[in-house]
Structures are given as C-alpha cells and as structure tokens.
Amino acid sequence: MKTLKIAIQKSGRLNEKSVELLKNCGLSFENYKSSLISSVSNFPLEILFLRDDDIPEYVQDGIADIGIVGENVIQETQVEVAYLQRLGFGKCKLKLAVPVDSSIKTVKDLEGKAIATSYPNILKNFLTKESINADIKMISGSVEIAPGLGLSDAIFDIVSTGGTLKNNGLKPFHDVISSEAILIGRKGEEDEELIQELIQRIQSVLRAKDNKYIVLNVERKNLEKVTALLPGVKSPSVIALADENWVAVHTVIPEKDFWDRINELKSAGAQGILVMPIEKIIM
Ligand code: ATP
Ligand code: MG
C-alpha cells in the first residue's frame, strides 16, 4: 500500500471531530467543504469526504482502506469490517421509546405493535433475539413524529440527550445499543504498516486527551503524602525549588480523577496547582 485512503463524514455530527482528530495526529491537509478528496501533505494519506451511510461499504469494497463512522451505521449496514479503534466521540444510544401515556412499558409489550425506525436491521435483530413479532415501519427521518401521526405505537431511534424525545411527548423505555465513532478497516489488513502507524498516532492523541499534566508545589515534609495521591505515567518528577524546604512535583493524571484528586492534594499540602492539556502521549 503506497497511499492510504481514509473515508470520513463530509458534513454532519462526526465531520468536525474526525477532521480535528486527524489534524491532532499531525496530518496537514486542506479541509475544503466543496471537494470530495483531500491529500495529506506530510503523510501518504488521502481523505475521502462521504455520506456516513456509505462509509462501511466503501471500506468493505476497498475503495477506502479505513474509515471513521458511527457504530450504529456499521451495524445497520451489516457489512463485515474490522474495528481498529474506538474513538470516544459521537456517543449516542439507540433506544425504544413510546408516547408518555402509552400502555407499552416493557419490550414484551411490543408484541404485535408497530415500531417506526430508520434502523430496521438493528431493530429486526433485536426483536428476533427477544422473540417478539412486531411491525417495523421504515422511515428515513423525523421518526419521533410517527406515533403522533398514528403511523406507529413506538419508535426506535438515536438518542443523545433525550431532548427531542421529550419535545415530542415520548419517553424511552429500553436501550438497545450504545454507539460511538469507530475507526474501521478491512478484515485481514489490520497489520498493514501505514494503518498501524496511523492507529498509533490516533492512540497517542486519545491517551493525551484523557490525561492532564499537573505541576504543584509542596513542602518537603508533605511530599510523601502528596506523591501517594499521584499515580503518574511512571512516577512523578520531584524538582528542587529555590526555597530548599519546598519542591515542585510534575506528573500526569487521568482527567476523570481530576477534581477528586485536586481536593485531596490541597488537603495534603499541595499549592499553586497548574493543570495543563497534553498534546500526545507516546508509550
Ligand atoms: P450524512 O449526511 O453523512 O448521511 P446523517 O444525517 O446520516 O449524515 P448525522 O446526524 O450527522 O448523520 O450523525 C452522524 C452520526 O453521529 C450518527 O450516525 C451517530 O453515530 C452519531 N450521533 C451522535 N449523537 C447523535 C444524535 N443525537 N443524533 C444522531 N446521530 C448522533
Ligand atoms: Mg447518514
């Protein structure tokens, strides 16, 4: 493989984050909204901008080598692709929902009912697994208005915050799948050198985003208490300060532990705490 081709969404919910991820990987390219292909100047990569629904098939058929697309789309198109890396953005769930005053309370109550969705394949698989017979009404958009129009008793749709459901007098009652953006490739080609290099760059960006670089000052007598709270990448760096009773501690901690740790650190004697973003973490 001389030049790798990656397919990403042309416009929509995954476009901006996909472009940002590739840029954070140090790839330099023009992001013209009008063009369908962009060449990366400092890596043998071409970027194809496509409708998200087409991405799994383009990858399966070898028109693109890899792609970034929502797991919901991969499952719905039912293509055979390899999951190379979960990307942590574009998170959403596919849920079953009904009008707030509906008598449908559980999955079993869907027996014999009509369900509107843009995801008929995922829904069909789910209903088969649950041994439910229901009438699937395929509609391509605005699924949430179907019950109000009398088209269906329930809906099966993508939900991130739930605001759209609520505004349409619906309530979710069962989550079927969770989804996020995934880097996909063709099965059997995962070990291709250029693909591996790109995956490593992506992983170093994802790791960096999950962590913060922390610098703090502490009196020597409190150093042990403070370092006990800091499980760093390896161990924290301890640097002498002009005042010999004090030291500076530098380390990396996961963003998710961040606020808990900050309070514990302060009570253990840490002062002047600086928190900085990290660009990349190469392991
Ligand atoms: P395209 O024009 O490329 O076909 P689209 O309209 O089908 O785009 P978008 O609405 O841009 O798709 O959503 C792209 C993906 O973003 C979804 O497939 C899903 O994986 C993810 N996503 C995350 N949150 C939501 C949400 N609240 N609603 C819809 N999709 C979401
Ligand atoms: Mg689409």
Q: What is the CATH number of the domain that holds 103?
A: 3.40.190.10
Candidates 15, 92, 139: which one to mutate for ligand 1, based on the most atoms within 8 Å of Cβ?
A: 92
Domain edge (last residue) among 208, 226, 250: 208
Question: At 177, is the pLDDT very low, low, confident or very high (cuts 50, 70, 90)?
Answer: very high
Query: Can you tell me which atom of ligand 1 is nearest the CA of 9?
Result: 3
Ligand at minimal distance from the CA of 15 is 1
Domain edge (last residue) among 179, 196, 220: 179
Q: Is residue 135 in some structural domain?
A: yes
- Rounded to an integer, the average pLDDT of 64-74 is 98
Question: At 233, is the pLDDT very low, low, confident or very high (cuts 50, 70, 90)?
Answer: low
pLDDT tens digits, one per residue of 197-214: 999 999 999 999 999 999
Whether residue 190 sits in one domain with residue 81: yes
* pLDDT, position 197: 97
Whether residue 110 sits in one domain with residue 157: yes
- Is the CB of residue 85 less than 8 Å from the CB of residue 162? no
| C-alpha–C-alpha distance, residues 47 and 55, integer Å | 12
- Rounded to an integer, the average pLDDT of 163-178 is 95
Three-point CA angle 127, 128, 134, nearest 5°? 50
Percent of the chain predicted with pLDDT > 90: 87
Q: Is residue 282 in some structural domain?
A: no
- Would you say the CB of residue 158 lies under 6 angstroms from ligand 1? yes
Ligand at minimal distance from the CA of 89 is 1
Residue whose C-alpha is closest to residue 97's, from 155, 179, 145, 162: 155
Residue 52 has pLDDT above 80, yes or no: yes
- Distance between Cα 52 and ligand 2 center (Å): 5
For the chain, the 3-state helix, strand and coil shares in percent, each to the nearest 5, are: 30, 30, 35
Tokens of 170: 């619906």
Residue 32 has pLDDT above 80, yes or no: no
Q: Is residue 78 in some structural domain?
A: yes
Whether residue 243 sits in one domain with residue 124: no
Whether residue 79 sits in one domain with residue 185: yes
Whether residue 254 sits in one domain with residue 117: no
What phi and psi, each to the nearest 5 degrees, are found at residue 264?
Answer: -60, -40
- Distance between Cα 115 and ligand 1 center (Å): 20
Nearest CA, atom 11, ligand 1: 12
Q: Is residue 264 in some structural domain?
A: yes
Please state the domain count of the chain: 3
**Within its chain, how far is the Cα of 66 from the centroid?**
16
Which single residue is written with the structure tokens 């769930």?
A: 93
Which has the minimum average pLDDT: 54-68, 81-95, 120-134, 222-236? 222-236
Whether residue 85 sits in one domain with residue 36: yes
- Would you say the CB of residue 171 lies under 6 angstroms from ligand 1? no
pLDDT tens digits, one per residue of 124-148: 999 999 999 999 999 999 999 999 9
- Would you say the CB of residue 68 lies under 6 angstroms from ligand 1? no
- Rounded to an integer, the average pLDDT of 222-227 is 94
* pLDDT, position 232: 63
Q: Is residue 52 in some structural domain?
A: yes
* pLDDT, position 262: 87
Whether residue 268 sits in one domain with residue 154: no
- Would you say the CB of residue 14 lies under 6 angstroms from ligand 1? yes
- Would you say the CB of residue 67 lies under 6 angstroms from ligand 1? no
Residue 175 has pLDDT above 80, yes or no: yes
Candidates 52, 73, 117: which one to mutate for ligand 1, based on the most atoms within 8 Å of Cβ?
A: 52
Whether residue 105 sits in one domain with residue 59: no
* pLDDT, position 69: 98
CB-based contacts of 30: which residues, under 8 Å, 6+ apart?
A: 38
Whether residue 231 sits in one domain with residue 168: no
Alpha helix (H) residue ranges in 182-221? 193-209
Indicate the burial class of 239 (C-beta count within 10 angstroms; 0-12, 13-18, 19 or more).
exposed
Whether residue 73 sits in one domain with residue 199: yes
Domain edge (last residue) among 163, 179, 195: 179
Whether residue 116 sits in one domain with residue 140: yes
* pLDDT, position 161: 85
Quote the domain boundaries for residue 252: 211-277
Candidates 8, 10, 14, 157: which one to mutate for ligand 1, based on the most atoms within 8 Å of Cβ?
A: 14
Whether residue 14 sits in one domain with residue 28: yes
Q: Is residue 283 in some structural domain?
A: no
Bigger pLDDT: 72 vs 233: 72
- Would you say the CB of residue 52 lies under 6 angstroms from ligand 1? yes
**Domain of residue 258, CATH code:** 3.30.70.120
* pLDDT, position 110: 98
Residue 34 has pLDDT above 80, yes or no: no
